[in-house]
Amino acid sequence: MADKKTNKRIKSLSIYRPFIYGTTARPFDPISNPKPPGVPDDHTHSWEVFVKGVDDTDITYWLRRVQFKLHESIPNHVRVIDAVPGKPFSLKETGWGEFEITIRLYYVTESNEKPQTLYHHLRLHPYGRTEEEKDKMKKGDGGVVKSWNYDEQIFNEPYESFYEILTTGAMPPSMVGSGQKGGKGGKQKGEKEQKVERSEGGVLARSAMIPLTNRGPDFPFSRETEQCEIEKLKKALVKVEEMTRKTKEEMEKKEKRLKELKAEGAKA
Ligand code: SLL
């Protein structure tokens, strides 16, 4: 690793790491989600807010702490979660209402990056753009309401030593926390160069990979999902263009009619 004096920013280079943040909520139910003792009567849901890697891969090599700021009605509403290698940054709570959660990301010290803030609306109730989407959420998975976002953390002109951490030591997720050195310092002296390959459709930890295909409701972010979204956007664009064309046509007709009426008025 470069020492402090020679540690420079790498000019004109940007590097990103994918991550997921969001909330998962479950209504209390005597069978599927019984209310634990001590939870106030007016609480209707248990919920979790998290920041984690795609496919649950480790992100603690670039993120060291997450602060979740909850609604002020909640006791100790500012909560700090420190990194545990291989584990998501997660906070579990119970409550009755939806609100905006402020999520502050603190990067590993080697990055020299200032903390950044994200905002996420806690969803307890099924939602969607259409009634159909809402219904789907109501029926699926025992009333579980997921509001998850895929995002990419971009590091612009990273310091050399941080770049090394980010790019050294890609490994299968199962090896994280197994005593392998991985990113920090990378390969140890004398260690053989090991070629690590992505698992079927999956990702390597400490990489910017995105899964190729969807593998169940807990892993919805993949190239496949991206492709579906692109198709949806393309279809929507065609529709919008068609609507614009029709509106223009109608306007032209109306303008023509207006001219005719004006001409008639002038004659009269
Ligand atoms: C609403 N504007 O009216 C929101 C406020 C507040 C939610 C939601 C309390 C939990 C606790 C709780 O759920 N507050 O007391 O621990 O919907």
Q: How confident is the model at residue 6 (pLDDT cuts 50, 70, 90)?
A: low
Atom of ligand 1 nearest to the CA of 75: 16
Rounded to the nearest whole angstrom, what is the distance from the C-alpha of residue 48 to the centroid of ligand 1?
14
Contact 27, 126 (CB under 8 A): no
Contact 115, 68 (CB under 8 A): no
For ligand 1, say whether the CB of 95 is within 6 Å of any of its atoms. Answer: yes
DSSP state, residue 8 = -
- Give strand pairing partners of 48: 24, 92
| Four-residue CA torsion sign, 104, 110, 111, 113 | positive
Q: Whose CA is nearest to atom 13 of ligand 1?
A: 95
Closest listed residue to residue 158, CA positions, set 112, 107, 206 = 112
> Cα 124 to chain center, whole Å?
18
Q: Whose CA is nearest to atom 8 of ligand 1?
A: 97
Rounded to the nearest whole angstrom, what is the distance from the C-alpha of residue 43 to the centroid of ligand 1?
9
Residue 27 in 3-state DSSP? strand
Atom of ligand 1 nearest to the CA of 71: 6
The model's pLDDT over 104-145, given as tens digits with 9 standing for 90+, comes to 999 999 999 999 999 999 999 999 888 888 888 887 777 899
The residue whose CB lies within 8 Å of the most ligand 1 atoms, and thus the one to mutate among 96, 100, 101, 121, is 96
Residue 146 in 3-state DSSP? strand
Residue indicated by tokens 């209504």 = 27
Span 156-183, average pLDDT:
77
Rounded to the nearest whole angstrom, what is the distance from the C-alpha of residue 151 to the centroid of ligand 1?
27
Q: Tell me the whole-structure pTM to 2 decimals.
A: 0.81
pLDDT value, residue 148: 96
Q: Whose CA is nearest to atom 14 of ligand 1?
A: 97
Rounded to the nearest whole angstrom, what is the distance from the C-alpha of residue 123 to the centroid of ligand 1?
12
Residue indicated by tokens 């007016």 = 42
Task: Of 128-132, 179-183, 202-206, give the lowest mean pLDDT range.
Answer: 179-183
Euclidean distance between CA atoms 62 and 166, whole angstroms = 7
Rounded to the nearest whole angstrom, what is the distance from the C-alpha of residue 74 to the centroid of ligand 1?
7
Rounded to the nearest whole angstrom, what is the distance from the C-alpha of residue 121 to the centroid of ligand 1?
12
One DSSP character per residue, 187-206 reads SPTTPPP------TT---BT
Residue 246 predicted with pLDDT over 60 = yes
The model's pLDDT over 63-89, given as tens digits with 9 standing for 90+, comes to 999 999 999 999 999 999 999 999 999
Rounded to the nearest whole angstrom, what is the distance from the C-alpha of residue 122 to the centroid of ligand 1?
10
pLDDT value, residue 137: 82
Closest listed residue to residue 85, CA positions, set 151, 227, 180 = 180
For ligand 1, say whether the CB of 122 is within 6 Å of any of its atoms. Answer: no
Q: Whose CA is nearest to atom 5 of ligand 1?
A: 97
Mean pLDDT in the chain? 88
Closest listed residue to residue 198, CA positions, set 57, 15, 63 = 57
Euclidean distance between CA atoms 145 and 128, whole angstroms = 11
For ligand 1, say whether the CB of 53 is within 6 Å of any of its atoms. Answer: no
For ligand 1, say whether the CB of 74 is within 6 Å of any of its atoms. Answer: yes
Instruction: Give the strands of the sheet with 116-121, arranged side by side.
Output: 78-82, 63-69, 100-107, 116-121
Q: Whose CA is nearest to atom 12 of ligand 1?
A: 95
pLDDT value, residue 204: 83
